[in-house]
Chains A and B, each alone.
Chain A
């Protein structure tokens, strides 16, 4: 499972990354977590507001910071779909 945090490095993006880290640890799933800071790649996801969160190429949140419990739910849902 590939989780990407999309954001050019503002404070919100860092917070989202921390929440995502916590969620990955809590969920117990094996997932690679990367931070995407390149503007071109962020734009290719089609989000209009940063920060954004994408799981396996699918945007699950944009323009807000879902907290770790919510991200855990997103991870489990994505895993079930795979």
Chain B
């Protein structure tokens, strides 16, 4: 009887609820994903040796196999993470974050701001309206800076990739130290009372009209937000990933083992400042830099140096400084870079010493 009952329930006329259908599609996608993912090492090896006829121990073969394995692997890992993050982010809007931060004392506010920076959607083109919007509605300057440091640097794509490639400990380390740098930098800048070094027009802004009402979202919208995030982010980021992996593959194939140790290893004390100095003007998003980091680590670079390099690249970038020049005087930008750079330096040394 139960068999016929279930057949009737699935008759074409009876429509399962949209939520159930969405769940079924997601489960199916997950199964396909799992199959492809587990088959990757074998397929990469087969393509390199049988189809392209390359010898794996040789540099070219090693580089090609690395590339063929890593590109689909990273993209496969990136997609579900970006999706989940897209859904999580639909719960946190900058408007809500601002409301949370507006009336906090600086100590609590700094910690909250850094934490919220991780989950609040942030794109560097919005840095200016966000800065003005925060500062003119009572969010203290130091707290705003804590947010501005953690938002780009403790980036969910970076965390996801670190987790996928190195395990949860490295990802947690990066997140923890990134938050610490954000909180300390914000606190220091707040204490220095540098409001006078913000461009004057910022404080003269008179908000007009009512605040836009916050829109309430339901689950189908949130799933849509996840899918939109995948479409937007993965489509934008995949060239960087491929480029990063290509560089990583060349390092993997052609650089002799332990070559990196000679100048990025633990004993070269000057490697951390050098890594930070090189990283600051460079700009890459997280997806491009993590494969490079993986290759560097594989060749003997010290973890602290490499983490510092990564933070310097994605946390402080020349394009971001140019954008912030609209709201901050050059002096304040210099202080900002110096404080954050010092924090990153400290992190680098700490982990080279401890690990």
Bitwise, A27-70 to B at CB < 8 A (1) or not (0) is 00000000000011011111111100010011111110000000
Nearest neighbor of B124 in chain A, beta-carbon distance:
A10
Residues of chain B with a CB closer than 8 A to A60's CB: 212
Q: Which of B121-164 touch A at CB < 8 Å? A: 121, 123, 125-126, 128-130, 132-134, 136
Residues of chain B with a CB closer than 8 A to A12's CB: 125
Q: Are A46 and B209 in contact (CB under 8 A)?
A: yes
Contacts A39-B326, A40-B201, A63-B94 given; indicate if A47 touches B129 (C-beta within 8 A). Answer: yes
Interface residues on B, range: 20 to 34
Bitwise, B80-91 to A at CB < 8 A (1) or not (0) is 000000000000
Nearest neighbor of B135 in chain A, beta-carbon distance:
A43
Q: How far is the CB of A38 from chain B (nearest CB, A)?
A: 10
Q: Are A8 and B125 in contact (CB under 8 A)?
A: yes
Q: Are A57 and B208 in contact (CB under 8 A)?
A: yes
Q: Are B207 and A46 in contact (CB under 8 A)?
A: yes
Q: How far is the CB of B146 from chain A (nearest CB, A)?
A: 16
Q: How far is the CB of B230 from chain A (nearest CB, A)?
A: 16
Residues of chain B with a CB closer than 8 A to A10's CB: 125
Q: Are B121 and A43 in contact (CB under 8 A)?
A: no
Q: How far is the CB of A17 from chain B (nearest CB, A)?
A: 15
Contacts A39-B128, A39-B326 given; indicate if A47 touches B205 (C-beta within 8 A). Answer: no
Out of B94, B128, B208, which one reaches A44, CB within 8 Å?
B208
The verdict on B98 contacting chain A, using a C-beta distance below 8 Å, is: yes
Q: Which of B90-117 touch A at CB < 8 Å? A: 93-95, 98
| Alpha-carbon gap, A42 to B207, bound state (A) | 10
Q: Are A43 and B212 in contact (CB under 8 A)?
A: no
Q: Are A49 and B208 in contact (CB under 8 A)?
A: no
Q: Which of B193-214 touch A at CB < 8 Å? A: 201-202, 205-212
